[in-house]
Structure 1
Amino acid sequence: MDRLFAEGTVNAAETGQGTPLVLLHSLLSDRASFDKIAPPLSRSFRVTTPELPGFGRSRAVDGGLAAVADRMAQTVIEAGAGAIVLGNGYGGFVALQMAIRHPGIATRLILADSGAAFSEAGREAFRTMASVSKAKGLAAISDVAMNRLFAPEFQEQHPELMRDRRAAFLRTDPEVFQAACDALAGLDLRTELSRVKMPVLVLVGEQDEATPPAMSRELAAGLPDAELKIIPGCAHVPQLQAPEVFLDALGGFLGLANAAPA
């Protein structure tokens, strides 16, 4: 069932009982990207899956990534004491910024396919997506967006999923998307990683072209207490592409004997 957080500004689905586990989605997707892993995780956790500010029924916020992180920090606090936060892609950058700005906000952090800073080529990709979408609309970059989420062969093998994911992307508020692209193009959190004191699991799909494995290696190396796992055969949203493999990668860090989908 859905519940409102952060003074009614954040809409989230909530299911299960136990330790709070908050799942933050990527920029090119929506909270449905967690649909395959939320049910099995809810057997052990109270799983909260928000729509990030400006997505779905969550109210947008001004002030860049820091303001988004602050808004989501309110959500995590309201989700309950001892929360664990998992962020994928843009959600991972939000989670990392949140952990830096709000020490102690979570007991553990899982950063899937994100990083602390992009290369110049990565920054330019965001600038291009922002400018083209502003000039021609999101449809003009929908192929680029899908290619950043999934490898071409996976797209060919899963046409129905790709139709669903493309439709989800096209529902994104263009101004929210462009602001997020601008924020990510200018982001560099590398000098602040030492402030993240909680244990962190860094995950990345080996085929991720949006946030390549090199970014996750750099991220894990800069964090005081981090473990890195590379997920074979996956791109930017491994929890959707290979949920069983993704859950297995989480198992030891979350203390799960078996979290595979039923």
Structure 2
Amino acid sequence: MDRLFANGTVNALELGPGSSQAPALFLFHSLLSDRASFDAIAPRLARSHHVVVPELPGFGRSKAVGGGLAAVADRMAEAVKDAAAGRETIVLGNGYGGFVALQMAIRHPAIADKLVLADCGAAFSQSGREAFSNMAAAAKAKGLSAITDVAMRRLFAPEFQAAHPELMRDRREAFLNTDTKVLQDACAALAELDLRAELWRVKVPVLVLVGEHDEATPPTMSVELAQMLPDARLEIISGCAHVPQLQAPDVFLDAIGDFLAVGQSVP
């Protein structure tokens, strides 16, 4: 069931047991995808967690917010606090959703008890920054159709695309429904992002995951992130790219299972 949070500004799907004892698990989607990227895992996670799958600001029915990534993180912190309703809280972010979750944890240290950061990092290399700037410029000049192939390559390895034509048609359609201005603003924010000096503020346990073949946020970014966070563990998911929960849901669930268990932390 969809509900609105943060004074009606954030739309989210809720799944799972109604018990207030079930931990709240938030799933933040990537920039080049949408919340449907969690469709393969959300129902299974909802067996043990109160799962909340929001549309990030500017996506779907969630209202856009100005002010860069910090403002997006603040909006999502409001939504998380509202939807969690006092439960133990875990936030899982993939790609752009991971950057939002990380910024949120820095700015609102008490917002979550655990974090899962999949395929993100604290800062991009110069080539990574240029890639976002180029995507934003191309989208502005020619529209999203001009960068769809690039976007899909950043999400999925070519071999995976060739083997799953129906899924790729769905993912292309979802990408083309993205608000161009929201995409441009997010690309600009990521091109300038550097959270490394603030990672010490994240005191909660963090599981850092990355697909072995991630082109959008290469594994080196996750390695650096895990090394710099005070309490983190790194897992590299073999055979996967930027959205492992969609590419290999069983493998992804195995990777996060122990960490999500109540009372578990980073060993």
TM > 0.5 fold call: yes
The amino acid of 1:191's aligned partner reads A
- What is the alpha-carbon distance in structure 1 between the residues aligned to residue 144 and residue 55 of structure 2? 19
Report the equivalent of 2:51: 47
**Could you tell me which of 221, 226, 234 is aligned with 2:232?**
226
Query: TM-score under structure 1 normalisation?
Result: 0.97
Q: Which structure 2 residue ranges, 5 or more long, are not aligned?
A: 263-267
Report the equivalent of 2:261: 255
Q: Which structure 1 residue ranges, 5 or more long, are not aligned?
A: 257-262
Deviation at 1:179, TM superposition (A): 0.1
- What is the alpha-carbon distance in structure 2 between the residues aligned to residue 40 and residue 208 of structure 1? 25
The amino acid of 1:64's aligned partner reads G
Q: How big is the alpha-carbon RMSD for the aligned residues of Structure 1 and Structure 2?
A: 0.7
Report the equivalent of 1:4: 4
Displaced runs of 4+ in structure 1, greater than 3 A? none
**Could you tell me which of 68, 73, 80 is aligned with 1:69?**
73
Q: Is residue 101 of structure 1 aligned with residue 113 of structure 2?
A: no
The amino acid of 1:19's aligned partner reads P
Offset from partner CA, 1:150-206 (integer Å, 9 cap, x none): 000000000000000000000000000000000000000000000000000000000
Report the equivalent of 2:179: 173
Offset from partner CA, 1:113-141 (integer Å, 9 cap, x none): 00000000000000000000000000000
Report the equivalent of 2:133: 127
Deviation at 1:224, TM superposition (A): 0.1
Report the equivalent of 2:211: 205
Deviation at 1:63, TM superposition (A): 0.3
- What is the alpha-carbon distance in structure 1 between the residues aligned to residue 256 and residue 12 of structure 2? 22
Query: TM-score under structure 2 normalisation?
Result: 0.95
- What is the alpha-carbon distance in structure 1 between the residues aligned to residue 200 and residue 177 of structure 2? 37
Deviation at 1:79, TM superposition (A): 1.8
Offset from partner CA, 1:22-81 (integer Å, 9 cap, x none): 000000000000000000000000000000000000000000000000000011101222
Q: Is residue 150 of structure 1 aligned with residue 166 of structure 2?
A: no
- What is the alpha-carbon distance in structure 2 between the residues aligned to residue 78 and residue 247 of structure 1? 26
- What is the alpha-carbon distance in structure 2 between the residues aligned to residue 95 and residue 202 of structure 1? 12
Q: Is residue 59 of structure 1 aligned with residue 49 of structure 2?
A: no
The amino acid of 1:61's aligned partner reads V
